[in-house]
Amino acid sequence: MDYYSKYINKLIEEFAKLPGVGTKSAQRLAFHMLNMPDEQVKAFTDSIIKAKSNVRYCKSCYTLTDEEICPICRSDKRDHSLIMVVENTRDLAAYEKTGKYEGVYHVLHGAISPALGIGPNDIRLKELIERLRGDVKEVIISTNSSVEGEATALYISKLIKPSGVKVSRIASGVPVGGDLEYIDEITLLRALEGRTDM
Amino acid sequence: MDYYSKYINKLIEEFAKLPGVGTKSAQRLAFHMLNMPDEQVKAFTDSIIKAKSNVRYCKSCYTLTDEEICPICRSDKRDHSLIMVVENTRDLAAYEKTGKYEGVYHVLHGAISPALGIGPNDIRLKELIERLRGDVKEVIISTNSSVEGEATALYISKLIKPSGVKVSRIASGVPVGGDLEYIDEITLLRALEGRTDM
């Protein structure tokens, strides 16, 4: 790649490190950046620098926030005895968008994955157990329905049960609006197992 | 989007401005950036800042380079009487990768597109015409085979012809290794028109 200036090669290389960005996309992004007006480039780099220096973990639920305690954990309108466990802040936002969940959250920042070398001590599990000392009635486990998410859910449920706190898991099944013929067998069986009276 | 800190929202917004990056990808990239070690984030932003401050246009061919005159234009091993006109620096690199082209280049930085409001004065055409005052034998037009690229090629060829300099256009046809049944009709007709004796 000595067809470009070393600065351009370095820029392409840095973009190519981002998730989901291949060499061709990295080239396109790098040249786009070079053609952008200086003030727009500054706005872009400033947004990164500011986010990195201001965003930290909420001391209660460990979501990413710019305050010591995030607005959800601070709110007296939320039910603090109900904790939903999610893998990351984006999953928290997904439930917040529904506007219907009234409890609080606990963000693990990952899921247990022996394949990736991520064990129980690499995610915010100890911090969850500590929160159970307070007045907690139920822990809803909303990790993904992936192999890692399911393993994490099982691990957490075994860990919490002795404490007597109720543990639940969000339902797996056919997505609303989903067409049965396009849904995988495991999901269909889950939907069958989880059927409810009507 | 008040589910995230304002710094995170701003970061997502900035990533979403990049070409080919939708809202979901922008979120993924923003959170990836927040989870990256500080020194990696610094390497990323530094690469942008350094590229922006060091990369400029070659004063001869207008490719992006970190020198006043790019290495190709400075080289005495290249045939300076042969100028290949390309739309951007990536197209120049594509021909350089072949390792077989021995002439020099002229980078337009765009193509004429009435739909996007890009006219002949918005690309480096005047600069190309100025270069023809030197000892130029042939101009090879290698703009893309898109509508804009073809229109630009036609415009340039009409502009140069009166000067007596030879103007050529790279061949359109079936890509090497291409399977005829998957190739569009226009390309097939171009390949037919451009057939050569054998």
Average pLDDT over residues A143-153: 92
Average pLDDT over residues A145-154: 92
Task: Say which of A34, A64, A97 has its CB closest to residue B8.
Answer: A64
List the beta bridge partners of residue B168.
B140
Average pLDDT over residues A155-184: 88
A1 pLDDT higher than 70? no
- Degrees, nearest 5: CA angle B130-B131-B137: 130
pTM here?
Answer: 0.79
- Residue B183, token pair as written in the block: 């190739």
Which positions in chain B touch A40 (Cβ < 8 Å)? 17
pLDDT in tens, A2-39: 678 999 999 999 999 999 999 999 999 999 999 999 99
Per the CB < 8 Å rule, is B47 touching A10?
yes
Question: Phi and psi for A146 in degrees, rounded to 5?
Answer: -85, 175
* Cβ partners under 8 Å of residue B184, min gap 6: none
Using the Cα atoms of residue B122, residue B126, residue B127 and residue B132 in order, give the sign of their dihedral: positive
For chain A, say whether B166 makes contact (Cβ under 8 Å).
no
| pLDDT classification of A41: cutoffs 50, 70, 90 | very high
* Cβ partners under 8 Å of residue A154, min gap 6: none
- Strands B64-65, B166-169: pairing is unpaired
- Residue B14, token pair as written in the block: 């900035």
* Cβ partners under 8 Å of residue A169, min gap 6: A140, A141, A153, A157
Which positions in chain A touch B20 (Cβ < 8 Å)? 25, 28-29
* Cβ partners under 8 Å of residue B162, min gap 6: none
For chain A, say whether B4 makes contact (Cβ under 8 Å).
yes
Residue A107: helix, strand or coil by DSSP?
strand
Task: Say which of B52, B65, B89 has its CB closest to residue A41.
Answer: B52
Which positions in chain A touch B66 (Cβ < 8 Å)? 5-7
pLDDT in tens, A45-94: 999 999 999 999 999 999 999 999 999 999 999 999 999 999 999 999 98
pLDDT at B1: 45
* Cβ partners under 8 Å of residue B170, min gap 6: B140, B141, B142
Q: Which residues of B58-95 are buried (b: 16+ CB within 10 A; e: fewer)?
A: bebbbbbbbeeebebbeeeebebebbbbbbbbbbbbeb
Task: Say which of B8, B38, B89 has its CB closest to residue A55.
Answer: B8
Specify the higher pLDDT residue, A187 or A61.
Answer: A61
Task: Say which of A4, A11, A27 has its CB closest to residue B47.
Answer: A11
What radius of gyration, in Å, describes the C-alpha atoms of chain B? Answer: 21
pLDDT in tens, A92-137: 998 998 888 999 999 999 999 999 999 999 999 999 999 999 899 9
Per the CB < 8 Å rule, is A90 touching B31?
yes
A173 pLDDT higher than 80? yes
- Tell me the residues of chain A between 139 and 158 that have a Cβ less than 8 Å away from chain B: none
Burial status of residue A144 (CB atoms within 10 A of its CB: 0-12, 13-18, 19 or more)? middle
* Cβ partners under 8 Å of residue B195, min gap 6: none
- Tell me the residues of chain A between 14 and 73 that have a Cβ less than 8 Å away from chain B: 14, 17-20, 25, 27-35, 38, 40-41, 43-45, 47-52, 54-55, 64-67
What is the mean pLDDT of each successive set of 10 residues along chain B, which is 198 residues long? 84 96 94 94 96 95 95 95 94 89 95 93 95 93 91 94 91 83 84 80
* Amino acid making up residue A14: E
Give CA–CA dist B71/B63, Å, rounded. 10
Strand ranges for chain B from DSSP E:
56-57, 64-65, 79-86, 103-107, 138-141, 166-169
| pLDDT classification of A180: cutoffs 50, 70, 90 | confident
Per the CB < 8 Å rule, is A47 touching B13?
yes
ipTM exceeds 0.90: no
> In the β-sheet with A138-141, what is the strand arrangement from edge to edge?
A103-107, A79-86, A138-141, A166-169
Nearest Cα of chain B lies from the Cα of A121 at a distance, in angstroms, of 17
How many Cβ pairs closer than 8 A exist between chain A and B?
A: 137
